[in-house]
Structure 1
Amino acid sequence: MKEYFEIALKKINVAYDEEKINKSLKYLQLLQDYNSHTNITAIRNEKDIIEKHFVDSLLLQILIRDEDKKIIDIGTGAGFPGMMLAIFNPDKEFTLLDSIQKKTKFLELVKEELDLKNVEIICGRAEEIIENRREIYDLGLCRGVSNLSVILEYEIPFIKVHGRFLPQKMVGTEEVVTAENALKVLFSKIVKQYKFNLPYSNEERLVIEIYKEKKTDKKYPRKIGIPLKKPL
């Protein structure tokens, strides 16, 4: 698996060293072991995990900037993209948030086993933890969770003015069009859309770069359940 992973990283132009490779492969083993008794990801094949979880997460690596010191990944699941990016960016602080306890319990295990000092794991909902974390992050992440108009309401309040949000979506989605009002209400704008291809399957991926222009009204995010039922 080591050679398979290294070739994939070269194909997407992501630099690596022995420590990052070893930690990633240990993460792979932990994920497979945990998944054998607790279902936290539907992808179980080793090569598929490497390409469709690990490498897919690392597509963001070229978009992360030096000034992105504090990063939040909302709805991180089994740690994608946040945990992989934390392994490859030990100089940056990552908050990984998920509302499902079995997933955050697994992430705590990964953090401990990989000795990742730059990772904070939180089990909770964005609507609940925003109170003490409003506009403190330089960069927001979210991979494939919910509709863009919904996830914008969860994510943007955490991000500093002039910070960015990099949601990962499938190519061909109409979510950008339906998110126009949410972007307006949350004083944010789409700067650019990036299309990538996974190195082995050649599957297309979309990353949307969103820039936050002004402070978010404190009424956002709305109470639990409302953003999903009544998107902006």
Structure 2
Amino acid sequence: MSSPEAQAILDRFDVSRESREKIEIYVKLLLTWQQRINLIGPATVGSVWQRHVCDSLQLLPLLPSGTTRIAELGSGAGIPGLMLAMTADLEAYLYESNGKKAAFLREAARLTGTRATIFNIRLESLAGKTGVPRVDCVVARALAPLPLLLDYAAPFLSQGSIGLFHKGQDVDAELTEATKYWRMDVLKHASKCDSRGVILEIREATRV
């Protein structure tokens, strides 16, 4: 059984009993693998529920109505992509260049019964690529400055996906730089888990 802190976070986002069980399996696996490979920052291991689970679940109310498929860029430990998929019963396409992290994602998806396809490729290979899966939303967390992140996300955004990107205190500078190369509709949502964090919601992104 998870801690009172964990239960409070799951209650806060109205997570179902079945999804709670999946998240608990995922967190246990994450902490086991963390002893062998660096999936999350070592300093955040003791606060995994607040720093990682909460940070993922706060995207749930921001997903477009009727979302069934998402993509995550630089998936790492699957935060937030895999966790969103297991919580909201979505199909996830996870892009991760590190082979060991991709192996973790496959095992986590298997143990939690989550519909996920893992692509063990470098994001640079997506540039200008056609034929990527059509998804409702593309997500990324702590991956790259916004101009580069938009380059990575372009194959999905060009098909009508919205972007939900975790950003930190430099978000305004990143937006200023990105608008030199991109025209887009942007909404900033204050993070529910980190007073310095922001979730960028990006729609209608086209290159200038």
Residue 65 of structure 1 aligns to a residue in which SS? coil
Q: Could you tell me which of 107, 116, 139 is aligned with 1:119?
A: 116
- % identical equivalent positions: 23
In structure 1, how many angstroms separate the alpha carbons of the residues matched to 2:177 and 2:125?
Answer: 26
**Corresponding position of 2:8:** 7
**Deviations, residues 173-228 of structure 1 (Å, cap 9, x unaligned):** 321111112323xxxx1331110232xxx5332011111256x7xxxxxxxxxxxx
Q: Could you tell me which of 142, 145, 159 is aligned with 2:143?
A: 145
**Corresponding position of 1:96:** 94
Q: Determine whether 1:207 maps to 2:206.
A: no
TM-score normalized with structure 1 length: 0.80
In structure 2, how many angstroms separate the alpha carbons of the residues matched to 1:100 and 1:213?
Answer: 28
Conservation of the 8 A alpha-carbon contact between 1:136 and 1:159: no
**Corresponding position of 1:110:** 108
Q: In 2 relative to 1, CA 129–153 (structure 1 residues): closer, same or farther, beyond 3 Å?
A: closer
Aligned length: 205
Residue 181 of structure 1 aligns to a residue in which SS? coil
**Corresponding position of 1:21:** 20
Larger radius of gyration: 1
Q: In 2 relative to 1, CA 62–34 (structure 1 residues): closer, same or farther, beyond 3 Å?
A: same
The structural deviation recorded for 1:4 is: 1.6
Q: Could you tell me which of 184, 190, 193 is aligned with 2:185?
A: 190
In structure 2, how many angstroms separate the alpha carbons of the residues matched to 1:26 and 1:196?
Answer: 25
Residue 8 of structure 2 aligns to a residue in which SS? helix
TM-score normalized with structure 2 length: 0.88
Conservation of the 8 A alpha-carbon contact between 1:139 and 1:165: yes
In structure 2, how many angstroms separate the alpha carbons of the residues matched to 1:144 and 1:46?
Answer: 17
**Corresponding position of 1:87:** 86
Amino acid at match of 1:36: Q
Conservation of the 8 A alpha-carbon contact between 2:126 and 2:152: no
In structure 2, how many angstroms separate the alpha carbons of the residues matched to 1:111 and 1:147?
Answer: 28
Residue 197 of structure 2 aligns to a residue in which SS? strand
Conservation of the 8 A alpha-carbon contact between 2:73 and 2:123: yes
Q: Which runs of 5+ in 1 are unaligned?
A: 217-231
**Deviations, residues 25-65 of structure 1 (Å, cap 9, x unaligned):** 11111111111122222246655111111110111111012
